[in-house]
Structure 1
């Protein structure tokens, strides 16, 4: 079957996008009916601003995911491109995580307004990832560079060459090996 993997990706993306649409409808309907209609007396400007700002963020992320995951067809109606695989790791998964955290905050803050503080977990996680992926390796690299040229030239942290390293250096001094049959 031609393009079977592309067809599978397009089918999985369609299922994922449908579940996102359903989730968005259910979560927002629950929030609107429970918090805004049923408990309107407790729904003030701060909650309205928070709800509409985070709902707008969710809509923005959904439109981005939808644009990336939509399949493209050629003039004959055949699948030309399945779109980006929405189940792969990377920024798409972070967008899904933000959507899911937003939904969690919407559902729980409909019941208890202090749950908006849970939304801080998003920048906290981003900071933690940035620390481990960028800042910590950069600091480790700077610490290794500041150790001195003698240890960097020897190939190890304590200044002692390994036997393997010495053999490699001796072979490099001899030149390229020529083999005859």
Structure 2
């Protein structure tokens, strides 16, 4: 039997999945009726390909989120597994963000087709995050990202050792100490 926190997670996940389903229905219905049916003369092959590709991506991400967050019940109808908490930070939140950007692009591009360029914010953000989490720390460790004066002033160059480290090395050189009473 699941405890109350698992039941709460299952309830929150069910609400999030329901709102995603409703969002898909409303956004895609709006785009199809307004952009494709009402403004058929301005709808072309490029817009059709863009819509199908981005809608397919968001459907793929939704199925992944749905598989991770769907609660599972045992044969007696009791909650066996609440699924992954969809409100936690991480890749699930990035999937939600991509879906929301896709919805924004679909709604706004129904009025102005240049809004498809906003979709480039996803790889731009991914590049910025990769720079912050991977490239910048590697450059700082190798000394390339730290200005020459700042490293010497802080005492964090590779050639210097902390006092604690020097003390530990001196103790190791002496060998084990035996004390007599």
How high is the TM-score relative to the length of structure 1?
0.83
Distance 1:65 1:177 in 2: 60
The range that moved more, 73-82 or 171-180, is: 171-180
Report how far residue 133 of structure 1 moved: 1.7
Distance 2:38 2:116 in 1: 19
Cα 1:73–1:174 shift into 2, 3 Å: farther
Distance 1:178 1:86 in 2: 58
Match of residue 24 from structure 1: 24
Match of residue 87 from structure 2: 87
Larger RCO: 1 or 2 (CA < 8 Å, sep 6+): 2
Measured against aligned partners, the alpha-carbon deviations of 1:41-76 in whole angstroms (never above 9, x if no partner) come to: 101111111111111111111011001001111122
Match of residue 112 from structure 1: 112
How high is the TM-score relative to the length of structure 2?
0.83
Report how far residue 132 of structure 1 moved: 1.9
Q: Which runs of 5+ in 2 are unaligned?
A: 145-154
Match of residue 63 from structure 2: 63
Report how far residue 160 of structure 1 moved: 4.0
Distance 2:54 2:16 in 1: 21
CA RMSD between the two structures: 2.4
Distance 1:105 1:29 in 2: 14
Match of residue 126 from structure 1: 126
Report how far residue 178 of structure 1 moved: 8.1
Report how far residue 161 of structure 1 moved: 3.9
